[in-house]
Structure 1
Amino acid sequence: MGAGGSRARQNAMRSGVVVLGAVAFGYLSFRVGFKPYLDQVQEIMDSPHDPAAAASDDSAGADRPEDGVDLAPSKDPAVVLRD
Protein backbone atom coordinates (compact mmCIF):
# COMPACT_ATOMS: atom_id res chain seq x y z
CA MET A 1 0.00 0.00 0.00
CA GLY A 2 2.90 2.33 0.60
CA ALA A 3 4.10 2.14 -3.00
CA GLY A 4 0.65 2.98 -4.38
CA GLY A 5 0.41 6.08 -2.20
CA SER A 6 3.79 7.26 -3.43
CA ARG A 7 2.75 6.87 -7.07
CA ALA A 8 -0.53 8.70 -6.43
CA ARG A 9 1.38 11.56 -4.81
CA GLN A 10 3.77 11.76 -7.77
CA ASN A 11 0.85 11.84 -10.20
CA ALA A 12 -0.85 14.57 -8.16
CA MET A 13 2.34 16.65 -8.10
CA ARG A 14 2.81 16.18 -11.85
CA SER A 15 -0.79 17.22 -12.49
CA GLY A 16 -0.33 20.29 -10.31
CA VAL A 17 2.79 21.32 -12.22
CA VAL A 18 0.98 20.88 -15.54
CA VAL A 19 -1.97 22.97 -14.34
CA LEU A 20 0.29 25.75 -13.06
CA GLY A 21 2.20 25.72 -16.34
CA ALA A 22 -1.04 25.97 -18.31
CA VAL A 23 -2.24 28.89 -16.19
CA ALA A 24 1.09 30.70 -16.60
CA PHE A 25 1.03 30.09 -20.37
CA GLY A 26 -2.54 31.39 -20.61
CA TYR A 27 -1.70 34.49 -18.61
CA LEU A 28 1.34 35.28 -20.75
CA SER A 29 -0.63 34.65 -23.94
CA PHE A 30 -3.31 37.06 -22.76
CA ARG A 31 -0.72 39.71 -21.89
CA VAL A 32 1.09 39.39 -25.23
CA GLY A 33 -2.10 39.19 -27.31
CA PHE A 34 -3.79 42.19 -25.73
CA LYS A 35 -0.65 44.28 -25.08
CA PRO A 36 -1.59 47.13 -27.47
CA TYR A 37 -5.03 47.46 -25.89
CA LEU A 38 -3.67 47.22 -22.36
CA ASP A 39 -1.08 49.91 -23.15
CA GLN A 40 -3.77 52.22 -24.53
CA VAL A 41 -5.92 51.75 -21.45
CA GLN A 42 -2.92 52.38 -19.18
CA GLU A 43 -2.10 55.61 -21.03
CA ILE A 44 -5.70 56.79 -20.76
CA MET A 45 -5.82 55.99 -17.05
CA ASP A 46 -2.48 57.70 -16.37
CA SER A 47 -3.20 60.90 -18.31
CA PRO A 48 -5.30 63.57 -16.59
CA HIS A 49 -8.48 64.46 -18.43
CA ASP A 50 -8.15 68.03 -19.71
CA PRO A 51 -11.04 69.14 -21.97
CA ALA A 52 -9.10 72.21 -23.12
CA ALA A 53 -6.23 70.05 -24.39
CA ALA A 54 -8.63 67.71 -26.16
CA ALA A 55 -10.38 70.63 -27.88
CA SER A 56 -7.08 72.03 -29.14
CA ASP A 57 -6.18 68.77 -30.86
CA ASP A 58 -8.08 68.67 -34.19
CA SER A 59 -7.94 64.93 -34.88
CA ALA A 60 -8.36 63.50 -31.37
CA GLY A 61 -11.57 65.23 -30.36
CA ALA A 62 -13.37 65.39 -33.70
CA ASP A 63 -15.95 62.71 -32.97
CA ARG A 64 -16.44 63.15 -29.23
CA PRO A 65 -19.99 63.66 -27.89
CA GLU A 66 -18.94 66.81 -26.00
CA ASP A 67 -18.20 68.43 -29.37
CA GLY A 68 -21.87 68.29 -30.32
CA VAL A 69 -21.78 65.05 -32.32
CA ASP A 70 -24.26 62.49 -31.03
CA LEU A 71 -22.84 58.99 -31.50
CA ALA A 72 -25.37 56.19 -31.52
CA PRO A 73 -24.43 53.14 -29.48
CA SER A 74 -23.16 50.23 -31.51
CA LYS A 75 -23.02 46.53 -30.74
CA ASP A 76 -20.09 46.01 -33.08
CA PRO A 77 -17.00 45.11 -30.97
CA ALA A 78 -14.67 46.84 -33.43
CA VAL A 79 -16.45 50.15 -32.90
CA VAL A 80 -16.52 49.70 -29.13
CA LEU A 81 -12.79 48.92 -28.95
CA ARG A 82 -11.83 51.66 -31.41
CA ASP A 83 -11.84 54.41 -28.80
Structure 2
Amino acid sequence: MRGALGGGSRARQNAMRSGLVVLGAAAFGYLSFRVGFKPYLDRAQEAMDDTTHHGSASGAAAQPDHAGEEDDVATSKDPAVVLRD
Protein backbone atom coordinates (compact mmCIF):
# COMPACT_ATOMS: atom_id res chain seq x y z
CA MET A 1 0.00 0.00 0.00
CA ARG A 2 2.77 2.40 0.87
CA GLY A 3 4.48 1.89 -2.49
CA ALA A 4 1.35 2.94 -4.36
CA LEU A 5 1.06 6.20 -2.44
CA GLY A 6 4.75 6.97 -2.82
CA GLY A 7 4.61 6.18 -6.54
CA GLY A 8 1.87 8.78 -7.09
CA SER A 9 3.95 11.41 -5.36
CA ARG A 10 7.00 10.50 -7.40
CA ALA A 11 4.99 10.62 -10.63
CA ARG A 12 3.74 14.08 -9.71
CA GLN A 13 7.29 15.27 -9.00
CA ASN A 14 8.50 13.86 -12.31
CA ALA A 15 5.65 15.56 -14.17
CA MET A 16 6.41 18.90 -12.52
CA ARG A 17 10.11 18.51 -13.28
CA SER A 18 9.35 17.69 -16.91
CA GLY A 19 7.06 20.71 -17.18
CA LEU A 20 9.76 22.94 -15.74
CA VAL A 21 12.31 21.59 -18.22
CA VAL A 22 9.92 22.20 -21.12
CA LEU A 23 9.22 25.78 -19.99
CA GLY A 24 12.95 26.43 -19.57
CA ALA A 25 13.69 25.05 -23.02
CA ALA A 26 10.94 27.20 -24.56
CA ALA A 27 12.26 30.32 -22.80
CA PHE A 28 15.82 29.54 -23.91
CA GLY A 29 14.68 28.99 -27.49
CA TYR A 30 12.75 32.26 -27.51
CA LEU A 31 15.69 34.23 -26.13
CA SER A 32 18.09 32.56 -28.57
CA PHE A 33 15.80 33.50 -31.45
CA ARG A 34 15.57 37.11 -30.26
CA VAL A 35 19.34 37.46 -29.79
CA GLY A 36 20.27 35.61 -32.96
CA PHE A 37 17.88 37.48 -35.22
CA LYS A 38 18.03 40.87 -33.47
CA PRO A 39 19.72 42.73 -36.37
CA TYR A 40 17.15 41.42 -38.83
CA LEU A 41 14.23 42.15 -36.50
CA ASP A 42 15.50 45.70 -35.90
CA ARG A 43 15.84 46.32 -39.64
CA ALA A 44 12.34 44.99 -40.26
CA GLN A 45 10.93 47.19 -37.48
CA GLU A 46 12.67 50.28 -38.86
CA ALA A 47 11.38 49.49 -42.35
CA MET A 48 7.83 49.17 -41.02
CA ASP A 49 8.21 52.43 -39.07
CA ASP A 50 9.54 54.21 -42.17
CA THR A 51 6.67 53.04 -44.34
CA THR A 52 4.15 54.05 -41.69
CA HIS A 53 5.83 57.39 -41.09
CA HIS A 54 6.44 58.33 -44.73
CA GLY A 55 3.19 56.81 -45.97
CA SER A 56 0.97 59.48 -44.42
CA ALA A 57 1.02 62.90 -46.05
CA SER A 58 -1.09 64.37 -43.23
CA GLY A 59 1.83 64.08 -40.78
CA ALA A 60 4.00 66.46 -42.80
CA ALA A 61 1.11 68.86 -43.39
CA ALA A 62 0.13 68.91 -39.73
CA GLN A 63 3.62 70.00 -38.59
CA PRO A 64 5.08 72.42 -41.16
CA ASP A 65 7.56 73.92 -38.67
CA HIS A 66 9.39 70.57 -38.41
CA ALA A 67 10.23 70.26 -42.10
CA GLY A 68 13.09 67.87 -42.77
CA GLU A 69 13.13 66.37 -39.26
CA GLU A 70 10.86 63.41 -39.87
CA ASP A 71 13.85 61.18 -40.72
CA ASP A 72 15.50 62.04 -37.39
CA VAL A 73 12.42 60.99 -35.44
CA ALA A 74 11.91 57.75 -37.36
CA THR A 75 15.48 56.50 -36.89
CA SER A 76 16.14 57.88 -33.41
CA LYS A 77 16.07 55.60 -30.38
CA ASP A 78 16.20 58.55 -27.97
CA PRO A 79 12.85 58.93 -26.10
CA ALA A 80 13.37 62.69 -25.80
CA VAL A 81 13.38 63.06 -29.59
CA VAL A 82 10.19 61.05 -29.93
CA LEU A 83 8.41 62.81 -27.05
CA ARG A 84 9.31 66.38 -28.01
CA ASP A 85 6.65 66.42 -30.72
Give the TM-score of the pair, scaled to structure 1. 0.57
Percent identical: 75
Which residue in 2 is equivalent to 1:8? Answer: 11
Task: Kindly indicate whether residue 58 of structure 2 is the aligned counterpart of residue 42 of structure 1.
Answer: no
Taking only aligned residues, the RMSD between alpha carbons, in angstroms, comes to 1.6
Stretches (4+) displaced over 6 A:
none
Say which one has the larger Rg: 2
1:19 to 19, 22, 35: 22
Q: Deviations over 1:14-73 (max 9, x none)?
A: 00000000000000000000000000000001113659xxxxxxxxxxxxxxxxxxxxxx
Matched positions, count: 51
Q: Greater relative contact order: 1 or 2 (C-alpha under 8 angstroms, separation 6 or more)?
A: 2
Q: Structure 1: which 5+ residue stretches go unaligned?
A: 52-83
